[in-house]
Structures are given as C-alpha cells and as structure tokens.
Structure 1
C-alpha cells in the first residue's frame, strides 16, 4: 500500500457502514475468537450498537483499509489531541490479504495522517507471535510489566511508540 501510488488508502467509515464493519470483523477475527473464545474483548463479538457507540466517542474514527479498490480491513484510531496521543484499536486485515505486509503498511501510513500525535498505543494477544512481530516491526515497544490476563492462556500485552515530530 502506498498512498502516492493510489494502490491503497483509507476511507472513513460512517454509521451506515456498520454492517460492513461487522462482516469484516467476523471474517478477520473469527480465527482468534475460535482459538480463545473471548466474548468480552474480541471485536468478533461486537454488536452494531457497540460499534455505533464507539463511533460517537470524541476523536474515535473508523477507517476502511482499501487496497486495489477493495475493502481489505479496518483500523480504528482513538486520538487524544490534548496529550498528543492515540491508540490503534482494533486493526484487522481480512484473512485472504494477510501475509502481504498490508497491516504493517497500514499502521505506518495511518500514523502519517496524524502528524501532531507523538505517542501511539496498541495492545494485542501475548500468545500470538505474528501480532507481536507486527507491532515490533512497526517500531512499537512492549510496555514492561503491563500485562492483562483475559483468561487462562490469553493475555494482553501493551505497546507504545514515541515519535519525535
């Protein structure tokens, strides 16, 4: 994905896009849901109402990730401009587009759309090496001693990235 080459870009989602968001969540998060059976934090289980409420939050923006004119994923950014900080929550790429570095490129490019943000946060499942690798490759660092246990065999690890703008 490269914004300059028009191969990929982001399109802001609206409440009318919620059914498509749910479809992408179901396709993209199904494997993780089946592995961990996490009803509380996996977007696979999010309702239209929950997504609608998150859309209403100040500075909460859902974007479709578009590649070759196809919606291949979603990234949501929750920005706090006062503290020049933002969180990626969640990021999902459809299974058929995974393994092509599109998630990595999406993270890097979404960050460039928020030039005033100096600190970025993200969290993911500690037991998923591919996800850990993705965020480390994007320049995030694991926040030491900050782990949240969701259930036996499923922990959330937190990442932070500081930019010097």
Structure 2
C-alpha cells in the first residue's frame, strides 16, 4: 500500500499519522479495527496499516453526518429497531428499549426544534444515526439520545468518530448521555472520550441498569 493511501486512512481514523504511520501498537490495533479486515504491521520499528484484501475503494470512505428530517422518520425508525433488537432480546427491556418504540416517537422528536437527528454515513452509505438534544442554552448540557450503529458496522470505532463530529458541530463542553451499565465496551468508549459517570443509576429490570455520564469543561 502506498503512502498516499495510508495517509487517507490515517485521516479517516482520526489518528495524527505521519504519512499514515501511527504512534504505537495500541493506536495501530485500534486503527485496524475501524474498518474490519485491516492489518497493522511492525517493520523495523515502524508501524503502518495495510488493507489486505479489502477493496481499495473502502480506503477512501469518510465518515460524515447528514441531517435528517421528518421525511426520514420511517427510515430512522427501521435502522433504530435493527440496531437495538439484539440488546432487546438480551435484556428484555420492553418498556424502554429503542427497538420497541413506535415510529410515532421518532416523528415527534423530529418535530422538536431542539432535536438534531443525523444519519452517520460512510461515503454515501448510512450506517447508523445519532440524535442530539441541544437547546442552545449557555451552560446547559447537550444530550446524546440515542446513538446507534447498524449491526454489520459495529465494533469499528464508528460511534466514537460520530460523537467527535457531534462535539465539533455542537460544542465540546457540557454533554450528557446514559448507557447500559452491563455493556462495558460502551462504558469504556464514553470514558475514553472524556465522559464521567455522575453516580446516578436507574435499574430497569433484573438484567439491565442504566448509568449516566457527563462531559464538562476540560474533560
């Protein structure tokens, strides 16, 4: 793989590469996980990324957020159900799971002037979505509720990059969200991004507890 392609990949992952080189083994492993099928190599003290048999066109995929409107309600709802159905089956949280909501709830949120729904896209492909509640009030928290990635794209670092883009668009300070305490991979993601548990917990049932996070100034 040539230096140009490595550089493009480095920019996509968010790492500050030098012609595609990454800082250390951990960075290389996390970068390689981003798009599935990528490999990292250690050659004479230099770490780099290669695509193996991944089609070259996938190298140039860039993550972006596309604002959704009321006409997208059914599409957003279908994606939400698909993304959360495995968790619903696992935790049986029928009263609170996004997978068990009706499309009318998505429609109602889209009509709120403080709700910003975005499709999470790789190139032209929609791979998930995120809703931001932002009342544009100084010092007030913005809220992520929900964020989801379609199952076939999960585990590739896409949610992390999407949150980073949301923070760029809506401001990096004063955020809140909640997640499932038992899903430690999600908790680790938010903590890695500077979110801290508030101490508030909400027991949904014997299988599932929600834990609440905030990200304040200089977190």
> TM-score, normalised to structure 1's length?
0.90
The answer as to 2:64 corresponding to 1:9 is yes
Match of 2:79 among 5, 16, 24: 24
* Match of residue 186 from structure 2: 131
Flag the structure with more relative contact order, 1 or 2, with Cα contacts below 8 A and sequence separation at least 6: 1
> Can you list the C-alpha shifts for 1:64-110, whole angstroms capped at 9, x where unaligned?
00112210001000013213420000000111111111111111111
Between the aligned partners of 2:109 and 2:95, the Cα distance in structure 1 is 15
Answering whether residue 151 of structure 2 is matched by residue 95 of structure 1, we say: yes
| Secondary structure, aligned partner of 2:170 | coil
Structure 1 or 2, whichever has the larger Rg, is 2
Work out whether residues 174 and 216 of structure 2, in 8 Å CA contact, stay in contact via their aligned partners in 1: yes
- Summarize deviations over 1:35-80 as a string: whole Å, max 9, x none: 1111222111111111111112231111000112210001000013
Write the mapping of 1:96-115 to structure 2, written as runs, cut at 5 A.
96-115=152-171
Cα deviation, residue 158, structure 1: 0.2
Q: Which residue of 2 aligns with 1:147?
A: 201
- CA distance in 2 between counterparts of 1:118 and 1:99 reads 26
**What SS class does the counterpart of residue 80 from structure 1 fall into?**
coil
Could you say what the CA RMSD is over the residues aligned between the two structures, in angstroms?
1.9
TM-score by length of 2: 0.69
- Are 2:109 and 1:54 aligned? yes
Provide closer, same or farther for how the CA distance between residues 112 and 2 of structure 1 changes in structure 2, counting only shifts above 3 A.
Answer: farther
Q: How many residue pairs end up in the alignment?
A: 162
Equivalent in the alignment of 2:96: 41
Distance in structure 2 (CA, Å) of the matches to 1:120 and 1:43: 21
Contact 2:117/2:131 (8 A) holds in 1 = yes
Q: In structure 1, what is the Cα distance between the partners aligned to 2:63 and 2:129?
A: 13
Counterpart Cα distance in 2 of 1:52 and 1:23 = 12
| Shift of residue 6, structure 1, vs aligned partner | 6.9
Extract unaligned runs of 5+ from structure 2: 1-11, 15-59
Paired residue secondary structure (1:50): helix
Match of 2:213 among 143, 159, 162: 159
